[in-house]
Structure 1
Amino acid sequence: MPPPPVPPQARPRVVGRCPAAPLYGPELDGDSLPAFYAGLRRVHGPVAPVLIAPGVSAWLVIGHRELLRLTREEQDFSHDPRRWTLLREGRVPADSPLMPIVGWRPALLHTDGQQHRRMRTAVSDAIAAIDGHELRRTVRAAAEGLIASFADRREADLVPHYARGLSLQVLTRLLGLDDRTGQLLAQAIMGMVVTNADSHNASARMDAILQDLIKEKRRRPGTDITSALLNHAGGLTDDEVLHNLVVTLVTGHQTTVNWITSTLRVLICDPAFRSSVSVGHLSVDDALDLVLWRHPPTQNFPARYATRDLEFGGQQIRAGDMLVLGLAGANQDPSVLPESGQPVVGNRSHLAFGAGPHMCPAQDPARLITRTAVDTIRHRLPDLELAVPESELAWVKSPWSRGLAALPVRFTRPQLPRPPRHRMRTQEAVPDEESASGPPQ
C-alpha cells in the first residue's frame, strides 16, 4: 500500500536570496566537485538546497553528522519515493529521465522497516554465499584476459577496455548471465545512470533482460545470486527479485568501474603515493580507502523523504521533501577530517558506502573485486602512465555518479604470464594469487 498523503509543498526552490544550486551540467566535472561542495557548505551549512534536474528541487545533505542521522532515523526520513511531494503534485513527469533512478520499486532501496529487513536479509544472504576464493580467481582471469587483449598495442583506455569489461564479466557470472547478454545489460545500466532522454528506454531494456533471466533460473536454478534470491526463505516474488537485481546492478556496476579507475588514476598520477605502495609502505587497500574519501564512486545517492515537518541541519524541512545523500560532500566535512583536510591512512569512517540500516551490503566483494583488478594490472603493466595531461581527463556527467569517462594510458613493458610448456610446468608459468598481487617486478 502507498504511504499516507502528505500536504502539498513546493520546496526548496530558494533559501533567502540564494537560489538552489544545480547538481547537473557540464561544469560539474570530477575535479571541480570538491570546491562546489565546499561552496555549498559556506553558504548553506550541512544541508543545502539543490536542483537535481531543471525545476526539480531537493536538499543535499553534506554534513557528516547530519548524513548519519538521515540514514539512521527512518521515523523521520523514509526511503519510499511515493512520499515525495513534487512527484505527488505531478511536477515530476512519469517520463522524466530521473524516474528510472528515483522512482519507486518493490526493492530494499525503497522500503522501510520489516519489508526492508526481509528483502535485505535475502540480498545479504545471497551475497554472503559468494565464494571469495572463487570470486578472486574469476576477477583475476577476467583481468588477465582483458590485459592480454590490448597489451600488444602498448596503449588502452582503461575505462572501456579494462574496468568496465571486468565489472561486466564478474557481475554477469555472479548473476548467472552469459557474456553477450551481460554486455547488453551493462549498456542499459549506463543509459540509466547518465540521466538523459534515453534513460526510460534503457530501464525497459534492463528489466526485459532480467525478466528472461528470472524465468530461466526458475526452470534451471544454479549457484548464482539470482537463484539464491528466488529460493530464499524470505519468499521474494519474481517482481521483488527483479527489482532487487536492478538495485544490485545499478549500485554495483558503475561504482565498481569508478572505484577501479579512480584508484588507478591515483596510483598513476601521484608518484609519491605510487612509490609508497610499490615499496610496501602503503598497501593497495590504503589506495582504495584514499579514493573512497576523496573520490567516492557514488557522489550523491537518492534519496530520503521527510515524514514530517522538522528543522534539520539549520533548514526548515517540510513533510514530503526529498533529501539526497551527499556522500562526497559529507566526506569533506571539516568536523571529521584532520586539520590538513586530508583523510588519514587507515581511516574508514567515510560514508562512501552509506550508513545505517541501508548501508551497502556488498562492501566486501566490491573491495575484493577492486583490489584484485588494481593488483593485477599493476603487476602486468608496471610502467603505466597517462597518455594525456591529467587536466584533460573526461568525466561522466551525472548528478549521482562520480567517475572517469576515459582513462587513456600507455606502457612499454607488459609482463604477461608465459604459457605453460607442458603440463608439469603449468604452475611455474601462471603466478599464484600471492605472487600476482605482489609489487611490480
Structure 2
Amino acid sequence: MTVPTPERSAAPPPGCPMHAAGAAPLYGAAVADDPHGLYARLRAQHGAVAPIELEPGVEAWLVLGYPELLELTRNEALFSKDSRRWRVPREGRLAADSRLLPMTSWRPTLLNLDGAEHQRLRAAVAETLARVDHRQLRETTEAAADALIDGWGPDGTADLIAQYARKLPLLVFTRLLGLPAETGPRLVELISHFVDSSEKSVRANAEFQAILVDLVRQRRERPGADLTSWLLAHRAGLSDEEAVHHLVVILVAGNETTINWTGNTLRLLLTDRRFRATLAGGRLTVSDALDEVLWRDPPTQNFPGRWATSDTVLGGQYISEGDMLVLGLAAANADPAVLGGPTGGQGTAGNRAHLAWGAGRHVCPAQHPARLIVETAVETLLHRLPDLQLAVPGHELAWRPSPWSRALVSLPVLYSSFTPPRQPDPDFATGSAYVSAPAARPGAAAPTAPERSSWTSAPQTTSSPSGSTRSDGISTGRTPGSATPARRSWWNSLAGWWSGR
C-alpha cells in the first residue's frame, strides 16, 4: 500500500477541536452493547481509519480497514510497537491512575519492541511454547474440563462463563507454568480487572506481577519441567525482569483469549440456527464454529497498539508523529472489501484469513495451543452434556464493557443428563512423553540429560494442532471411563478448590 504524503490530506491533525468533536468513545456501553454497529458507523463516517477516544480527552485512531490494518502491522518504519513514543503521556495528558496504563505501558517484551530485539524475545516465547506436546495438552485440557463438569450440582443449571470458560484455562496454565494451584482464582480476578480497564486496574497489575516475580525467583533456583523454567533456560538469555513480563504476556494473552474464545464459541453453538445441528452431529463442526467466532466476535476485538514514528497518512487520515493507532481486529474482519469475511460471499467455514491473531511479525505465537485448548474444551462440554441449551433468550446475554476483549458476562444453560468422560489415551496418562534438552544460555554449563515429563515430547512436526484434534460430529460415542487415579485425583482436588468444596 502506498502511503500519501501528509500535505495531500485535508484532514485536521489529531488534538485540534475538529478532531476531538468527531471522536467516538471506545469505552463503556457503546463498545459493549453493539460494537459491530459502532464500527459500521465509524466506517461510514470516517472510512478505514476513525478518530476515537480511549478515555475522555485521550484520543487515538481505530484502524477499521483490512488492508490498512495489514499496512499498520507490517510497516515498522512508520508504525512502531514502542509505546514510549506515545505523545499523550509526553504531553502530561494521561492520568497517573489511568485505566489504560496496564494495557499501554512499555515493558521489555516482544509486544513493545521492534526489529532484532523483538525477534530475540519472540523466539524465546515461541520456542518455549513449542516444547509443549499438543496431544498431551489436549488430554490434560479434557481432564480439567471433566473435573469441572463433574463438580456441578444436581439441579441441571450452570453458568458456562463463571463455572467453565473462566476456570478451565487457569487449571491448565497454572500447571503448565509451574504456579501453585491456589493462585489460579486470584489470577483470574486480577487479569479481569486490568483487561476490562476497571478502577482497580493499576493495583491489580502490580499484584499480578508480584506473583510472577516470586515464581521466576523460585524457578531460577529450582528449575522444573514447566514453561517458566524453559523460558529462563532459553538460549536468548532472558533476564528475570524480561521473564516476568513475558509470563504476563503468556498468561494474559493465553488465558483471556482462551476464556473469550470458548465462551463466544459456546454462545454461537447455542444461539445460531446453522450450528444447532452440530449438537446432533450435523455437517458444521466445532472447528467451523471456532473459525466463525474468530471472524465475527474474536476474543480480542481491539488491541493497542502502534505509534506513528513520523507524520504520515493512513486510510486518508492525517496521522501525527506520536499518535496511537489501535488495531480494530473485529472491524477489519468485517471490512466489506474482504471477500472471505462475514459480509462476503465465500463464508467463514475453514477460512482463516481473519486478523483475530493480528498480522505481521507480531502475530500471536500461541494461536495453535490456544485453538487446541478451546476446541477440546467445547467438544468435551458438548459430549458430556448432549442436551445443553440456553436458560435465557439469546438477546438477553450481556457483554463485558471492555474496549479490548469481546467477552460475555455470563452464559446460563440448562441440561438434564451427563455422559461419562471418555477413557484417556494410556500412553499419555502414564507420562510416556519426554522433555527435549533445554537450550543453553550463553556461557551456561551444558544441559543435563532430558528430564521426564508428561507435558512435552520431541519438537512438534505438525503445522497446526487442529489437524490432530477431532472435529467430526461431537455426539460420537466415547468409551466411558476416567483418567488414571493420580491424574483424576489432582484435577478433582484443584477443581474442588475452585468450587469451594
Q: Same fold (TM over 0.5)?
A: yes
Residue 19 (str. 1) matches residue 55 (str. 2): no
Unpaired stretches in structure 1, ≥5 consecutive residues: 1-8, 427-432
Unaligned runs of 5+ residues in structure 2 are 1-11, 430-468, 478-501
- Alignment correspondent of 1:410: 414
1:308-323, aligned counterparts within 5 Å? 308-323=310-325
CA distance in structure 2 between the partners assigned to 1:352 and 1:12 by the alignment: 30
SS in 2 for 1:234: coil
Match of 2:398, SS state, is: coil
1:5 corresponding residue in structure 2: none
Decide whether the 8 Å contact of 1:61 with 1:326 is kept in 2. yes
Does 1:373 find its partner at 2:377?
yes
Q: State the partner residue of 2:104.
A: 102
Q: Is the contact made by 2:138 and 2:373 (CA closer than 8 Å) also made in structure 1?
A: yes
In 2: Cα distance, 1:184 partner to 1:196 partner? 16
Tell me which of 430, 453, 475 is aligned to 1:439: 475
The amino acid that maps onto 2:180 is D
Question: Greater CA deviation, 79-88 or 387-396?
Answer: 387-396
Cα 1:165–1:54 change in 2 (3 A) is same
- 2:352 is matched with 348
Count how many residue pairs are aligned between Structure 1 and Structure 2: 423
Alignment correspondent of 2:432: none
Change over 3 Å in CA distance of 1:315–1:381 after alignment to 2: same
1:351-375 CA-to-partner distances (Å, cap 9, x unmatched) read 0000000000001000000000000
**Cα deviations by residue, 1:307-363 (Å, 9 ceiling, x for unpaired):** 010111100001100000000000000010359715332111100000000000001
Matching residue of 2:85: 83
- CA gap 1:105/1:338 in 2 versus in 1, 3 angstroms: closer
Q: How far apart, CA to CA, are the structure 2 residues paired with 1:75 and 1:12?
A: 23
Compared CA separation, residues 182 and 276, structure 1 to 2 (3 A)? closer
Matched, 1:326 2:328: yes
Q: Which residue of 1 aligns with 2:180?
A: 178
Within 2, Cα distance between the matches of 1:224 and 1:339? 38
Label 1:380 to 1:294 Cα distance change in 2 as closer, same or farther (>3 A). Answer: same
Cα RMSD of the aligned pairs, angstroms, is: 2.4
Structure 1's consecutive aligned runs of 4 or more residues displaced over 4 angstroms after TM superposition are 12-18, 433-437
What per-residue deviation string (whole Å, max 9, x for no partner) do you get for residues 67-116 of structure 1? 00101110000001100000111111232111011000111100011110
The aligned runs of 1:206-217 (5 Å cut-off) are: 206-217=208-219
Of 209, 215, 221, the match for 2:223: 221
Question: Are 1:13 and 1:49, in contact at CA under 8 Å, matched by a contact in 2?
Answer: no
> How far apart, in 2, do the equivalents of 1:277 and 1:147 lie?
18
Q: Distance in 2 between matches of 1:213 and 1:230?
A: 11
Is 2:305–2:326's contact at 8 Å kept on the other side of the alignment?
yes
User: Do 1:262 and 1:404's aligned partners in 2 also have CA atoms closer than 8 Å?
Assistant: yes
TM-score, normalised to structure 1, is 0.91
Matches for 1:192-341 after TM superposition, within 5 Å: 192-276=194-278, 278-337=280-339, 341=343
Q: Percent identity?
A: 52
Q: Give the deviation of 1:18 after TM superposition.
A: 5.2
Within 1, Cα distance between the matches of 2:30 and 2:19?
25
The alpha-carbon distance between structure 1 residues 183 and 338, as it changes in their structure 2 partners (threshold 3 A), is closer
Give the CA deviation at 1:170. Answer: 0.9
Deviates more, 1:331-340 or 1:217-226: 331-340
**Following the alignment from structure 2 to structure 1, what is the Cα–Cα distance between the partners of residues 88 and 30?**
26
How far apart, in 1, do the equivalents of 2:129 and 2:122 lie?
Answer: 10
2:111 aligned counterpart, secondary structure:
helix
Question: For 1:423-438, what aligned pairs fall within 5 Å after superposition?
Answer: 438=474
Conserved in 2, the CA contact under 8 Å of 1:384 and 1:410? yes
- The offset of 1:11, in angstroms, is 2.6
Do the aligned partners of 1:151 and 1:414 also contact (CA within 8 Å) in 2?
Answer: no
Would you say the 8 A contact 1:376–1:437 is kept in 2? no
Gap change, CA 1:141 and 1:338, over 3 Å in 2: closer
CA distance in 1, matches of 2:259, 2:17: 36
Among 132, 135, 138, the residue aligned to 1:133: 135
State whether residues 12 and 59 of structure 1, in contact with CA within 8 Å, keep that contact through their aligned partners in structure 2: no
Are 1:391 and 2:395 counterparts? yes
Residue pair 2:166, 2:259 contacting (<8 A) in 1 also:
yes
Determine the C-alpha separation between the residues in 2 that align with 1:404 and 1:252: 17
Amino acid across the alignment from 1:241: A
Contact 1:148 1:416 in 2 (8 A): no
Secondary structure at the aligned position of 2:167 is classed as: helix
Q: Which residue in 1 is equivalent to 2:158?
A: 156
After superposition, the Cα gap between the structure-2 partners of 1:435 and 1:371, relative to the gap in structure 1 and judged at 3 Å, is closer
Distance 2:341 2:387 in 1: 34
- SS for the counterpart of 2:154 is helix
TM-score norm. by structure 2 comes to 0.80
Is 1:359 the equivalent of 2:395?
A: no
Q: 1:381 touches 1:411 (CA, 8 Å); kept in 2?
A: yes
**1:54 match:** 56
Alpha-carbon shift at residue 153 of structure 1 (Å): 2.5
Give how far 1:245 is off. 1.0
